[in-house]
Amino acid sequence: MVSGLAGGLAATYVMSQFQAVSKHWNKPQHNGSQSHPPTQQEPATVKTAQSISLVATGEELAPREKGRAGQVVHYAFGAASGMFYGALSEYKPKTRAARGAAFGTGLWALADEIAVPALKLSKAPREEPASAHLFGLASHLVYGMTADAVARGVRALL
């Protein structure tokens, strides 16, 4: 679990950097007919932080707190997922197949495609363009492969 925790935290950071850089590549283009501006929907992590705040304190997050709270949720989920991967891969070495790519794909399918929409933290999958699904999959492949590489390195040190 220790190696998975380290892998999960590192992978969350790398995934966040990948997403930040990738958003610059995927700017909406005006094609002369109709421009489709990006949605202004809050990220699922911010919505989750808002829900936690309401349950824990009865208060909504202040606008200035939302970004930081969303990051806390993002890293907590990434750390927990990494710990799960670390523990599972010790008992089921086949989990490490494809150097974490299989885990990243599974995490994307379960979290982004099933759980987050089911919890009404995002639109239904059919309401999102294919590019959004591919971006989510690519992000989780980066996460899974980074988590695996870091976990293997930490495991070798232990």
| Domain boundaries along the sequence of the chain | 2-17+43-157
On whether the pTM is more than 0.75, the answer is yes
Q: What is the pLDDT of residue 112?
A: 93
Q: Which long-range contacts (CB under 8 A, 24 or more apart) does 22-31 make?
A: 22/135, 22/138, 22/139, 26/131, 26/135
Q: What is the pLDDT of residue 94?
A: 87
Q: What is the pLDDT along the chain (158 residues), one digit of tens a residue?
A: 999 999 999 999 999 999 999 877 655 443 333 333 344 578 899 999 999 999 999 999 999 999 999 999 999 999 999 999 999 998 998 888 899 999 999 999 999 999 999 999 989 999 999 988 999 999 999 999 999 999 999 989 98
Tokens 């899974």, located at residue: 144
CB 10 within 8 Å of CB 150: yes
